[in-house]
Amino acid sequence: MTRGHAANSLFASPRCGAKTRSGKPCQSPAVSGKRRCRMHGGASGSGAPKGNQNAVKTGFYRKEAIEKRRRLKAFLRKSRELVRDL
């Protein structure tokens, strides 16, 4: 009787849902209290430590850098239009 109960609770538990290499969602049960399974980041100790300096190497995706690239792209677009109109 307990065996059937454990099997039912396993199937009723939320699924991980992370995209696997085949492109389909992971069907492993999520770790209790988390949204992902133990293999996709639900395990304790997974993830980068607080204040991880390895995550920021070039600053390419910083807000200031993105805004600078947007301004440069807009400037180039307007200059091309100006040259084309001449």
Residue 7: predicted pLDDT: 59
Of all residues in the chain, the percent with pLDDT exceeding 90 is 35
Return the closest-CA partner of residue 20 out of 31, 3, 43, 36. 36
Could you give the maximum distance between any two Cα atoms of the chain, in Å?
85
Using pLDDT thresholds of 50, 70 and 90, give the confidence band for residue 79.
Answer: very high
Per-residue pLDDT, 73: 97
Model confidence at 65, pLDDT cuts 50, 70, 90, reads very high
